[in-house]
Amino acid sequence: GAGVSQSPRYKVAKRGQDVALRCDPISGHVSLFWYQQALGQGPEFLTYFQNEAQLDKSGLPSDRFFAERPEGSVSTLKIQRTQQEDSAVYLCASSPGVNTEAFFGQGTRLTVV
């Protein structure tokens, strides 16, 4: 596909369950970002990859959140022992370089019940 693809689009998890969210960036894009967007808020930065290197994970809210991009393309955001406050839309974005336009995927809407 031409754009950033995220899966699943919707995920309902029971509190305490682990979830894994997938991001397929645009082919060849060096930079990959994860953002969290709560209802009525702007996206909040979670983490950044340059190729396979995770250069910044300062936005991850707790050690229950873990992200990886082992081969420098597909990325997975894992949330362990989900809590209700984790309910949000998780957005992935990629860009061709470091300071170039970022293209967002449609997001994964996570609801923790």
Within 31-90, the residues that bind another protein by CB under 8 A are 31, 33, 35, 40-45, 48, 50, 55-56
Choose among 52, 32, 44, 46: nearest CA to 96: 32
Shortest CB 45 distance to another protein, Å = 6
Alpha helices in the chain (DSSP H): none
Closest contact distance (angstroms) between CB of 81 and another protein is 27
Cα→Cα distances 16→61, 81, 84, 85, 104, Å: 16, 4, 9, 12, 28
91 binds another protein (CB under 8 A): yes
Q: How long is the chain?
A: 113
Q: Which is nearer to another protein, 35 or 65 (CB)?
A: 35
Nearest to 7 by CA among 61, 19, 16: 19
Stretch that binds another protein, among 16-24, 62-70, 71-79, 104-112 (CB under 8 A): 104-112
Binding residues vs another protein (CB under 8 A): 31, 33, 35, 40-45, 48, 50, 55-56, 91, 93, 98-99, 101-102, 104-107
